[in-house]
Amino acid sequence: MVETTKLPVKKERTAPVEAGWLPLERMRREMDNLFEEFGRDFGFPTRWSMPEIERLWQSKGRGMEPVADLVERTDRYEVTAELPGIDGKNIEVKLANGSLIISGEKKEEREEREANYYMSERRYGSFQRSFRIPEGVNADKIEASFKNGVLTVALPKTDEAKKEKKIDVKAA
Protein backbone atom coordinates (compact mmCIF):
# COMPACT_ATOMS: atom_id res chain seq x y z
CA MET A 1 0.00 0.00 0.00
CA VAL A 2 1.30 3.45 -0.96
CA GLU A 3 1.23 6.18 1.63
CA THR A 4 0.60 9.70 0.50
CA THR A 5 1.33 12.79 2.47
CA LYS A 6 -0.30 16.10 1.81
CA LEU A 7 2.08 19.02 1.79
CA PRO A 8 0.97 22.60 2.26
CA VAL A 9 1.16 24.64 -0.93
CA LYS A 10 2.42 28.15 -0.50
CA LYS A 11 0.85 30.69 -2.80
CA GLU A 12 2.76 33.87 -3.51
CA ARG A 13 0.81 36.98 -4.11
CA THR A 14 2.13 39.24 -6.83
CA ALA A 15 1.11 42.75 -7.62
CA PRO A 16 -1.81 42.71 -10.02
CA VAL A 17 -0.85 43.46 -13.61
CA GLU A 18 -3.09 45.97 -15.30
CA ALA A 19 -5.00 44.45 -18.21
CA GLY A 20 -3.38 46.80 -20.75
CA TRP A 21 0.14 45.75 -19.73
CA LEU A 22 -0.43 41.99 -19.94
CA PRO A 23 0.69 41.57 -23.60
CA LEU A 24 3.77 43.73 -23.00
CA GLU A 25 4.67 41.77 -19.87
CA ARG A 26 4.37 38.51 -21.82
CA MET A 27 6.57 39.91 -24.61
CA ARG A 28 9.18 41.03 -22.05
CA ARG A 29 9.31 37.53 -20.53
CA GLU A 30 9.63 35.93 -23.98
CA MET A 31 12.49 38.30 -24.91
CA ASP A 32 14.25 37.54 -21.60
CA ASN A 33 13.93 33.82 -22.29
CA LEU A 34 15.24 34.26 -25.83
CA PHE A 35 18.35 36.09 -24.63
CA GLU A 36 18.94 33.57 -21.86
CA GLU A 37 18.77 30.70 -24.38
CA PHE A 38 21.13 32.55 -26.73
CA GLY A 39 23.59 33.11 -23.88
CA ARG A 40 23.50 29.45 -22.85
CA ASP A 41 24.08 28.26 -26.42
CA PHE A 42 27.18 30.41 -26.88
CA GLY A 43 28.54 30.43 -23.34
CA PHE A 44 27.87 34.12 -22.71
CA PRO A 45 26.66 35.50 -19.41
CA THR A 46 22.90 35.95 -19.60
CA ARG A 47 22.72 39.21 -17.67
CA TRP A 48 25.14 41.96 -18.70
CA SER A 49 25.30 45.45 -17.35
CA MET A 50 25.62 48.41 -19.73
CA PRO A 51 29.33 49.01 -18.90
CA GLU A 52 30.05 45.35 -19.72
CA ILE A 53 28.27 45.65 -23.06
CA GLU A 54 30.13 48.89 -23.91
CA ARG A 55 33.50 47.29 -23.06
CA LEU A 56 32.66 44.32 -25.28
CA TRP A 57 31.79 46.54 -28.26
CA GLN A 58 34.86 48.72 -27.79
CA SER A 59 37.13 45.70 -27.50
CA LYS A 60 35.80 44.45 -30.82
CA GLY A 61 36.74 47.75 -32.49
CA ARG A 62 33.14 48.82 -32.93
CA GLY A 63 33.11 51.51 -30.27
CA MET A 64 33.37 54.62 -32.42
CA GLU A 65 33.96 53.43 -35.96
CA PRO A 66 32.55 56.19 -38.18
CA VAL A 67 30.05 55.52 -40.93
CA ALA A 68 31.57 56.25 -44.35
CA ASP A 69 30.46 56.40 -47.98
CA LEU A 70 32.76 55.81 -50.95
CA VAL A 71 31.73 57.29 -54.29
CA GLU A 72 33.42 57.33 -57.69
CA ARG A 73 32.81 60.45 -59.75
CA THR A 74 34.08 61.17 -63.25
CA ASP A 75 37.05 63.24 -62.06
CA ARG A 76 37.62 61.96 -58.50
CA TYR A 77 36.87 59.45 -55.79
CA GLU A 78 35.15 60.81 -52.71
CA VAL A 79 35.14 59.48 -49.15
CA THR A 80 32.52 60.97 -46.83
CA ALA A 81 32.63 60.09 -43.12
CA GLU A 82 30.11 61.07 -40.47
CA LEU A 83 31.90 62.32 -37.35
CA PRO A 84 29.24 63.95 -35.14
CA GLY A 85 30.41 65.71 -32.02
CA ILE A 86 34.08 65.66 -33.02
CA ASP A 87 36.09 68.84 -33.31
CA GLY A 88 37.86 69.31 -36.67
CA LYS A 89 41.22 69.85 -34.99
CA ASN A 90 40.99 66.34 -33.49
CA ILE A 91 40.80 64.65 -36.92
CA GLU A 92 43.81 63.40 -38.84
CA VAL A 93 43.80 62.30 -42.50
CA LYS A 94 46.92 60.70 -43.95
CA LEU A 95 48.07 58.58 -46.86
CA ALA A 96 50.37 55.63 -46.07
CA ASN A 97 51.27 52.47 -48.01
CA GLY A 98 48.47 52.92 -50.53
CA SER A 99 45.80 53.47 -47.87
CA LEU A 100 43.85 56.53 -46.80
CA ILE A 101 43.75 56.57 -42.99
CA ILE A 102 41.19 58.66 -41.09
CA SER A 103 41.68 58.86 -37.34
CA GLY A 104 40.56 61.07 -34.53
CA GLU A 105 39.57 61.47 -30.95
CA LYS A 106 36.31 62.50 -29.35
CA LYS A 107 36.28 64.29 -26.03
CA GLU A 108 33.05 65.45 -24.49
CA GLU A 109 32.39 66.75 -21.00
CA ARG A 110 29.12 67.99 -19.62
CA GLU A 111 28.40 69.37 -16.20
CA GLU A 112 25.16 70.60 -14.66
CA ARG A 113 24.73 72.13 -11.23
CA GLU A 114 21.31 72.80 -9.77
CA ALA A 115 20.06 73.44 -6.27
CA ASN A 116 19.21 69.79 -5.61
CA TYR A 117 21.61 67.85 -7.85
CA TYR A 118 24.97 67.77 -9.59
CA MET A 119 25.56 65.86 -12.83
CA SER A 120 28.90 65.28 -14.55
CA GLU A 121 29.37 63.23 -17.74
CA ARG A 122 32.56 62.46 -19.64
CA ARG A 123 32.75 60.60 -22.91
CA TYR A 124 35.91 59.97 -24.82
CA GLY A 125 37.35 57.57 -27.31
CA SER A 126 39.39 57.32 -30.45
CA PHE A 127 38.77 55.79 -33.84
CA GLN A 128 40.68 54.85 -36.95
CA ARG A 129 39.37 53.80 -40.31
CA SER A 130 41.41 52.98 -43.40
CA PHE A 131 40.54 52.60 -47.07
CA ARG A 132 42.62 51.11 -49.87
CA ILE A 133 43.36 53.78 -52.53
CA PRO A 134 42.53 52.67 -56.09
CA GLU A 135 45.01 52.95 -58.94
CA GLY A 136 45.04 56.28 -60.76
CA VAL A 137 44.74 58.69 -57.82
CA ASN A 138 46.85 61.85 -57.85
CA ALA A 139 48.20 61.64 -54.28
CA ASP A 140 49.63 65.18 -54.35
CA LYS A 141 46.21 66.77 -54.87
CA ILE A 142 44.14 64.97 -52.21
CA GLU A 143 42.01 67.46 -50.24
CA ALA A 144 39.99 67.08 -47.04
CA SER A 145 37.29 69.34 -45.64
CA PHE A 146 35.20 69.15 -42.47
CA LYS A 147 31.84 70.85 -42.04
CA ASN A 148 28.88 70.20 -39.71
CA GLY A 149 30.26 66.88 -38.48
CA VAL A 150 30.92 65.49 -41.97
CA LEU A 151 34.45 64.87 -43.28
CA THR A 152 34.83 64.83 -47.07
CA VAL A 153 38.06 63.64 -48.65
CA ALA A 154 38.44 64.22 -52.41
CA LEU A 155 40.88 61.92 -54.21
CA PRO A 156 41.36 63.38 -57.71
CA LYS A 157 42.01 60.97 -60.56
CA THR A 158 45.04 61.29 -62.79
CA ASP A 159 44.43 62.34 -66.41
CA GLU A 160 45.09 58.77 -67.53
CA ALA A 161 42.54 57.37 -65.06
CA LYS A 162 39.88 59.82 -66.33
CA LYS A 163 40.12 58.49 -69.89
CA GLU A 164 37.60 55.96 -71.05
CA LYS A 165 38.26 53.49 -73.76
CA LYS A 166 35.37 51.95 -75.64
CA ILE A 167 35.82 48.31 -76.55
CA ASP A 168 33.88 46.95 -79.48
CA VAL A 169 31.93 43.79 -78.90
CA LYS A 170 32.11 41.37 -81.83
CA ALA A 171 29.17 39.15 -82.50
CA ALA A 172 30.11 35.48 -82.94
C-alpha 97/C-alpha 132 separation (Å) is 9
- At 9 the pLDDT is 47
In contact, 148 and 82? CB cutoff 8 Å: no
Domain with CATH 2.60.40.790 in the chain: 68-162
**106 C-beta neighbours (distance < 10 Å), count:** 18
pLDDT tens digits, residue range 38-85?
Answer: 665 555 555 555 555 555 555 444 446 788 898 988 899 999 999 887
pLDDT tens digits, residue range 114-169?
Answer: 888 888 888 778 888 888 888 889 989 999 999 988 999 999 998 888 788 888 99
**138 C-beta neighbours (distance < 10 Å), count:** 13
In contact, 166 and 108? CB cutoff 8 Å: no
From the options 2.60.40.790, 2.40.128.20, 3.20.20.70, 1.10.40.30, give the CATH code of 68-162.
2.60.40.790
**DSSP per-residue letters across 102-159:** EEEEEEEEEEEE-SS-EEEEEEEEEEEEEEEPPTTB-GGG-EEEEETTEEEEEEEBPH
User: Mean pLDDT for the chain?
Assistant: 77
Tell which wins on pLDDT, 20 or 32: 32
C-alpha 47/C-alpha 34 separation (Å) is 12
